[in-house]
Amino acid sequence: MLTVFHGKDSRALRVLWLLEELNLPFRLVNLPFPPRSRAPWFLERNPLGTLPLLLDGETRLTESVAILQYINGKYDDALGVPPSSNEYGQWLMWTVFGEATLNYTLSVCLRYGWIERPENRKTDVVEYYKARFLEKVGFLSDNLGENEYLVCSRFTIADISVAYNFVLAEYMGYMDDLPHNIKMYWSRLKERAAYQRCLQLERDTPRSFDRPDDL
C-alpha cells in the first residue's frame, strides 16, 4: 500500500487530493510542521525533512508534482492526459507551473512573512514576491478565461497542482487581490468531495510526533 507522509496545508495535500479523487488505498502518516524539528525521526526517512514523502515499495519520492505524475502513470490515469492529445503539452505545462512558477513565489512570501522569527522577516521581500505571484496569476487568469478547468474541459492533476497555491493564498490573505475568474475557479475546486475528504483526514488523523512502530 502507498504510504504518504503529510503535514497540514503542506504540498502533500496535492497527493492526498489525487488519491481521494481516484479512490486509491493509502496509509497516511500525519506529521507536525516542521517535521525536521518536531518529529526528527522523519529525517531518517527523508533527509531533506520536507513534505510530502511517498513510499511505494522500494520507491521513495519527495516532490509533490512528481508524485502526481507517478501515480497517474503507474496506478490510474483518469486525471491525466494521453500524449496523443492535442492538450498533452498544456497539461504538462500547467502541472509544472503550479509548483515551479506559482508556488516558488508564494514560498518566499510564506517564509519571510510568516515562518521566520519576527526579527528575520523581510517586508520588502514579501511585497516583491507577492507582486510576482499576482503577475503569474494574471497569466493563469488570461489562459483560464471562463473555462471550468485548465485543460480538456475536465478536472486533471494540472488543476490539483495549480489549486494548491490558493490554500496558501487564503492563509496569507491574498485572495482578495486575485482576478474574479480565479476566485471562482478555486471556489469550485475546493467544494469537490475528494478535497473535502482531505480536510477531514487532516483533522481526524493524529499527528505522529513519535515514530510509528512499523516505520
SS3 for 114-143, per residue? HHCCHHHCCHHHHHHHHHHHHHHHHHHHHH
For the domain spanning 88-191, the CATH number is 1.20.1050.10
Residue 39 CA to residue 37 CA, distance in Å, equals: 6
Residue 77 CA to residue 73 CA, distance in Å, equals: 6
How confident is the prediction along the chain (215 residues), in pLDDT tens digits per residue?
A: 999 999 999 999 999 999 999 999 999 999 998 898 899 999 999 999 999 999 999 999 999 999 999 999 999 999 999 999 999 999 999 999 999 999 999 999 999 999 999 999 999 999 999 999 999 999 999 999 999 999 999 999 999 999 999 999 999 999 999 999 999 999 999 999 999 999 999 999 999 998 888 88
Position 215 scores a pLDDT of 82
CATH architecture of 2-79+196-204: 3-Layer(aba) Sandwich (3.40)
Domain ranges for the chain, please list them.
Answer: 2-79+196-204, 88-191
Q: Which three cell numbers stand for residue 119?
A: 526579527
Residue 81 CA to residue 35 CA, distance in Å, equals: 34
